[in-house]
Structure 1
Amino acid sequence: MIDFSEWRLGWSWPVLLVVIAVMAICLRLCILTWIRSGRKKSIAWLEALRFIIVGLILFTLANPERIELIERDSEPEILLLADASGSMNTRDVKDSNGTIITRSDWVKSSFAQPWRTELEKTAIVSELPFSSASGSEATDLSLPLKEGLDRVSNLKAALYFTDGDLNTGPSPLSLAGRCRTAGVPTYVVRVGKDKPLPDLVLEDFTAPSFALLDERLTISYRISNAFPERIETTLELMGNDEQVAIKPIIIQGGEEVSGTMSWLPTMKGDMRLRAVVKEHTGESILENNTRKLETRIESKVLKALIVDSFPRWEYRFLRNALERDPRVDMNCILLHPGMNPGNGRGYLREFPGSPEELAPYDVVFIGDIGLEEGELSEDDCEALANLVRLQASGVIFLPGRRGRQTSLAESPLGDLIPVTFDPTKPRGVGTSNSSAITLTKKGRNHWLTTLRGAGEPDVRFWERLPGFHWSAAALKSRPGSEVLAVHSIFRNEWGRMPVLAIRYVGAGKTLYLGSDSAWRWRRGVEDKYHYRFWSQIARWMAHGRHLSEGDGMKVIHSPERPKTGENVYLRCIVLDKDGFPLKDGPVESMIEHPGGENERIFYEPAPEGEGVFLATFRTRQSGPIKIRTEVTKADRFLETNLQAESNGLERLGRPARTGDLRELARLTGGKYGLAENLESIVQAIAALPAPGPLERIHRLRTDLYWGLFLCALLAIYWTGRKFAGMI
């Protein structure tokens, strides 16, 4: 670099020689042009101007800079960046007495030691605890350093005390360039061991926010094993401090397992759930073996509708089972093509003719009927599809031997059917010997197939159920559907033929059962399996519709238990004062977050139909959330309680990390070390000179007025050439 006091040029000597050569060539061309013009004075002035412009442009390309020195008007400051996230509560650090303490306690005790006084002799020492913008449930390592660079005008150094568990925000390396420019070295003290503690951890434990009485309550779990060897343990589920389920767990060393447990509540009301992993000898942390949740069990009367053509055996036993269920209000329609519809107790003379009449039904069973005069119409299919998508109801497809359901594939219900029918076999397929339902891997773990309310300890009872001779011909499942069971005999190019499949559509669900012989499960055991199966499915279908409801109004939230920082989608179903779907709003909710902050959101009408409004918001931190929804036009009000769960980013027992912080220290001229290296790091900081004056660089090539000046000279030159008659 060539330094001219306050100004400096970015030229090296080879480049300078090239510039001199270019200027010499330019001078030669200018002289030749002047001579060819007859040595006119005007041309001499123009060529002189051209020579000057070329020189100024080359001078600009040399990137001249004017250095402005700004004296600092405050004392130097050293920032102690103390990690206050949840992982710092891991107990794996020895203090001076050899006692094992938590990482955060070691940091607190370190701040009280004499080394801090040594640093205070040359600078102001400030503490800055940090975690993340969302609280102690995550760690953002770039957040405190950025805040320090923004806030402190005379920052001498930054010293991290952290386990390095970065799990949100940008990498701290993104600030390395800014630290180097400001002359701020970054030092790092890694707190904690770099290997996981031997431990069993219940990483995750979730359950629905509510369940209907006689509906199986399914909890999901995830357990990790930090021991090097294989561990056999148990997971115990407690409800209101009583054991309700227990499951053996086998985990390989250094791995995780996940799964589900289900339980059939017998009483309504609030329920405190607690999952406990049995203690294993040698565990380091026992607190993470237990997790707690709260849910509620409610008794609701469900509305069910059965629609079929003829009173086949499956229809008769299904109707009788639902009619005997005290918590199901059942209606049925027997269309009898070519004859008068069936009549009697609970019978309807015709299919509900409007969306308003269909809306009260939680679950609709579609039997062996299709799209035809005297059966279902296009409008009926459209109303059923909207009932599922918009109002979170369920539809169950039960095809029969007439093969009428294949015609529904081209109707608005087509996308709701979980399988694709074989058009070449509309009447299905049969076998002379009975066939069995074979559960898939998904089906063996799905609570719809675990009828433990019937006294069965596992799903092996499916192998003992009476078989069937007929089933609908399905080619394959639709994308997005889940196949729970397949035919034991029939297969095609897509694999085994689906017999039991489910599908999530919009806010609701659909189910397909390809056999009409579930009634045969009653042989010798009466209602033990048949009733429990359909009762369980009806409650599973209706679950979403009863998350939060009031007079003429429902609010359905998804997911039921959102994580911190996750979007929550709200679906509000509203009737006007006359009991018809509300055509327009306004519909609004006041969200009360766990930290006390309030947020007002406004709903937009769902494009698919009237009476349904959609909104969304983002959870900010874990804890209870209150949603107060108001529709002034319909004089409706509803309060919904929601529990936001921790996102699980901060976990005890995890090893301390190095990674980005070690590289940050190297790039900024700092130092990286372990807890036992604290003294040497402090000495390095104490030896730092006081920060010099700040430099502000003014580059000529970025100056607007200089650019305008060069443009003006070029304009004068080219205008002069025109007046002089030059091309």
Structure 2
Amino acid sequence: MSALSVQWAPLLPGTILAGLAVVALLLLALALWRRAPGVFWRGLAFGVLLLALANPALIEEQRDPLRDVVFVVADDSTSQTIDERSGQTDLAVAHLLEQLGELGDTEVRLIRAGDNRGTQDNRGTRLFGPLRQALAKVPHQRIAGIFLVSDGQIHDLPETVESLGIEAPVHLLLTGEEDEGDRRLMVTQAPSFGIVGDQLSLTLRVDDLISGAAGGSGRITLRQNGQVTQSLDAPIGSEQEIAFELNHRGPSVLEIEVAPGPEELTLANNRAAVVVNGVRDRLRVLLVSGEPHAGERAWRNILKSDPSVDLVHFTILRPPEKQDGTPIRELSLIAFPTRELFEIKLDEFDLIIFDRYRRRGVLPSIYLENVAAYVEKGGALLEAVGPTFATPLSLYRTPLGRVLPGEPTGAIFENGFHPKVTDIGQRHPVTAGLDGDPGSSEEGAPSWGRWFRQIDADPSSGVIVMEGISERPLLILDRVGEGRVAQLMSDHMWLWSRGFEGGGPQAELLRRISHWLMKEPDLEEDDLRAEVRAGQLRITRRSLTEELPEVTITLPSGTKRSLPLTPEGPGRANAQLAVSENGLYQITDGTLTTLAAAGPLNPLELRDPRSTAALIDPLLRESGGTARRLAGQDLPELRKVSGSRDRFGRNWLGIKSGGGYVVTGVLQIPLLPALLVLFLALAAVVLAWQREGR
């Protein structure tokens, strides 16, 4: 194929040529005004010379035609998995590829787009982003048409066809059924964090996407960490506020689900997941010290240094039996508010600490009974014992004895020793990995300072995480009822805070003990946790045993997968799974169960899963294309059209001839060769001279 065209390559700049032409015209006009003979021949000479300076040439291009390019965009989004849409898509794509392959000089480029499953992307179905990238690689003359195979729920539609840079028809092959209906649940407002125990609220809305539907209600079920906490009716079409409370610190998964409606396309948008992080308000700690000792100030300093702790501290300086005759007005001490602390406001404290306390008649048995009941109902108790624990004045001889895990033997060791983490303590989060742990240093060489007193006890329950002289219990942790208890069988922890022989991790150990007592999720010794991060479901299992059972994962679609756990360190094991679906993942090892939410809060993809061409119809009309529903109709034939002819018919869809080509050669032929210009110019001058000489 060849093409001819005229090309101008002036020998002088255009302004100079224009100036010469103006001068020539003025001279010719003057000659005409003066009726000079030979004006025509003079003009011809001027014209030949100016045309020669313009240097026209005939260009012949040798062109090889290029094949037209047609783009087929297949929608692989989540909504395309509803009912028969996926099968309709595959069938339509195969038909298009076959039909386009039969058309001559046509190249087909298939684009599969819209799949954002397993990601946090909440921008919905995006088909035109990948399409734009593909269009940018092809000259617009070659683009013959675009076929979209989708349910019409596309969320990155361009405003105009011109913005795509094409002049070809866009057609939609529509999956799904006509007049579909669905019920959806949307969380319109939800907190990202809240204070444990305070009332929080979230706002949701239930809609029935059905033509002519109005009114009614839907049954809402609220689950917190897998446990049903509320069930209520929510009105259809209006917002509903639901109140809830967080029961522990750290992330809590709230699952909201609405009962199926009269028509349903998918139940995936009937539920939503909200992750709310629980934070504690200021922790209230009651510290009751017995007779003053060197470690009392260390306890107080550690607790006061934490800005999140409200400390109430009392030291028993004047027991009832101390009667030295000092006038009351000369005493600067206040009365111990026993009834207020141990009866009226006892449940307001998050942690109670008895430091070297012994029975002295200050606290009647009824108040100690209240403390025992407080623990059994979910409270936290820490006892740091002193020498009197080995005597009949021990708190173990009171109602508190039923919640304390260590029974005194009456022996007191006052030899120097290095506290040591036990084997099970190496697995317990309270003592695992403490800085300078002698059990983790080379050859077991201790790097902690020594203590010099240990009160012996026989453990009746609980877990021994630290031991001292002759491998006797030093720190015992126990669960009692719904509460927790810790017993430290020495009053020499303060030596670490003074830096004696290098000191030790006193502050860190006390922090861990306190937070374990108050049920800090990160310090649970028997725990199963999961989170979605960077497209991976990461599962962590913490246990005091070495058994590693497989975990079973229930995917949002209901499919179950089993994964083995891999040891990560003492007391820890993990597993990972690539996230392939958005929604709630349920993980269990047969004993413990946890949840993890993947994907956006309210997926834009499923807000309206109904099949429709209304969103893209303006774009189709502007391009000259149309939409054809696949369900219940024969697949359309494909044709090539040219010019401004119709681009679709009753049972066919058209693509245009792109007209693309590549130039393989160029032949340039001057229209005014030099000899011809010289001959014509001289001839015109001679004729003009002859005419004027008559």
Normalised by the length of structure 2, the TM-score is 0.38
Rg bigger for which structure?
Answer: 2
Normalised by the length of structure 1, the TM-score is 0.37
